[in-house]
């Protein structure tokens, strides 16, 4: 066969145009893409795996039900390395893909803070699990939260201790890091509002090897109930054991780490009969139970908030896009904010104008090592 000049020119043109045609066809989309930043490596790699599983389960359900805007949905995952620079890099890689319509950020507030300026610049909806109240109150309209923020946990602990357990003399114990300090302040403020200011407000530094002085201070304060914000499970484990060894057996209501699987393993019987606030509690609703069963069957481990919030995030985002009938970011935003009484694994979603979907916590009890749902406390403000 003889190659003419015309054939050669046509070949060149076809060669140059082909990738563009393929990309453009892809952009117009066989699938709808959702980006996800998750810790595939780094200290939180284990919980990152749970988060990815949760998101994938939701995606499967969405696709089975007809997908998004009649197309199948696809999850594009980038490793955030459990670090702030890692998530900024991961998000920038995802943001460069113009066909991604929405994103899942992190459960860690500090990482969400790190990526927030890029989110604002991109102007597309990002679902988050970080619980620092500021995240949805700093003028970034593209962040939507799928866990109750920390201002609610303090109020729920206080409300439950004072009104359900009937205890008025509180010892408040908290880590001195950003999470613990904010939590301790929220709990103290809520107690003051309920007319029971704490008799002891005690901070501690993370990675303490010994809590004897803290336990003795609680003993001497005459407190009849303990509220706590622990950041690390090993601190919680050491404290719990020493508390019981030194004979302090007052009721104890703690932040979510008190019902964390690792904390239960480390502290064992020292945490029996304690209470904790939990954003995910398997028996708290039909939707939570359904997610729990689905997750157990698929992943073969107990579900927790690491997996439940990405599950809800993908479900709600897909529903919002379908409701909006478009992938236009502004329309998706409006659709998410209009979601009310949506039953999720984490609870009932009623989005406010700040982007917060949940406004209460579950109270669970450690019944001889088994976490049992007690009650849900919801706030309207």
Contact positions vs another protein (CB under 8 A): 43-46, 176, 202-205, 207-210, 212-214, 216-217, 220, 233-234, 237-238, 241, 245-247, 262, 265-266, 268
Tell me the closest approach of the beta carbon of residue 220 to another protein, in angstroms.
8
Q: How far is the CB of 375 from another protein (least distance, A)?
A: 30
Q: How far is CA 76 from the centre of its chain?
A: 19
84 or 164, CB closer to another protein?
84
Min dist CB 234 to another protein, Å, is 5
Closest separation between CB of residue 168 and another protein, Å?
24
Nearer to another protein, 15 or 247 (CB): 247
To 10 degrees, what angle do helices 45-64 and 286-299 make?
Answer: 110
Give the separation between CA 165 and CA 191, rounded to whole angstroms. Answer: 14
Q: Which residue has the tokens 């509002």?
A: 193
Question: Measured from the CB of residue 156, what is the shortest distance to another protein in angstroms?
Answer: 25
The Cα–Cα gap between 184 and 109 comes to 17
- In angstroms, what is the minimal distance from the CB of 204 to another protein? 5
As beta bridge partners, residue 170 has 225
Give the residue with the Cβ less far from another protein, 53 or 284: 53
* Shortest distance (Å) from residue 271 CB to another protein: 13
Closest contact distance (angstroms) between CB of 177 and another protein is 10
Minimum distance between the CB of residue 212 and another protein, rounded to whole angstroms?
A: 4
The nearer residue to another protein, 238 or 319, going by C-beta atoms, is 238
The answer to whether residues 253 and 274 touch, using CB atoms and an 8 Å cutoff, is yes
Q: Closest distance between another protein and the C-beta of residue 202, in Å?
A: 6
Q: Closer CB to another protein, residue 209 or residue 353?
A: 209
Q: Which residue has the tokens 């969400």?
A: 112
**In sequence order, which residues have a C-beta less than 8 Å from that of residue 5 and are 6 or more positions away?**
none
Give the Å distances, CA to CA, from 54 to 50, 114, 129, 178, 223.
6, 24, 13, 28, 41
- Please identify, using beta-carbon distances, which residue of 213 and 325 lies nearer to another protein: 213
Q: Decide whether 98 or 207 has the Cβ nearer to another protein.
A: 207
Neighbouring C-beta atoms of residue 265, cutoff 10 Å: 11
| Between 116 and 214, CB nearer to another protein | 214
């Amino acid at each position: 066969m003889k190659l003419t000049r015309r054939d050669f020119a046509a070949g060149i043109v076809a060669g140059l145009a082909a990738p563009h045609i393929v990309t453009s066809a892809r952009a117009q989309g066989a699938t709808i893409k959702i980006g996800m930043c998750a810790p595939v490596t780094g200290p939180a790699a284990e919980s990152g795996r749970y988060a990815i599983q949760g998101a994938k389960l939701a995606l499967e359900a969405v696709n089975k039900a007809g997908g998004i805007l009649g197309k199948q949905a696809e999850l594009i995952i980038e490793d955030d390395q459990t670090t702030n620079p890692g998530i900024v890099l991961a998000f920038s890689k995802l943001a460069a893909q113009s066909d991604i319509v929405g994103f899942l950020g992190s459960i860690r507030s500090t990482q969400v803070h790190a990526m927030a300026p890029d989110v604002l610049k991109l102007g597309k909806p990002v679902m988050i699990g970080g619980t620092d109240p500021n995240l949805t109150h700093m003028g970034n309209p593209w962040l939507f939260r799928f866990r109750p923020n920390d201002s609610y946990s303090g109020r729920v602990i206080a409300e439950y201790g004072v009104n359900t357990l009937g205890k008025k003399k509180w010892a408040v114990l908290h880590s001195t890091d950003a999470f613990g300090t904010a939590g301790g302040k929220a709990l103290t403020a809520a107690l003051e509002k309920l007319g029971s200011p704490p008799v002891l407000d005690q901070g501690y530094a993370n990675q303490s090897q010994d809590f004897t002085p803290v336990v003795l201070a609680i003993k001497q304060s005459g407190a009849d109930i303990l509220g706590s914000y622990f950041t690390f499970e090993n601190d919680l484990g050491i404290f719990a054991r020493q508390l019981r060894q030194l004979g302090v057996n007052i009721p104890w209501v703690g932040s979510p780490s008190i019902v964390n699987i690792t904390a239960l393993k480390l502290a064992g019987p020292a945490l029996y009969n304690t209470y904790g606030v939990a954003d995910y509690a398997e028996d708290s609703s039909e939707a939570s139970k359904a997610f729990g069963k689905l997750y157990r069957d698929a992943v073969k481990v107990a579900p927790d908030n690491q997996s439940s919030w990405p599950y809800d995030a993908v479900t709600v985002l897909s529903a919002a896009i379908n409701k909006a009938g478009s992938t236009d970011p502004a329309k998706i935003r409006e659709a998410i904010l209009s979601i009310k009484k949506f039953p999720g694994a984490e609870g009932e979603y009623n989005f406010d104008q700040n982007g917060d979907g949940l406004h209460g916590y579950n109270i669970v009890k450690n019944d001889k090592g088994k976490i049992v749902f007690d009650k849900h406390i919801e706030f309207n403000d």
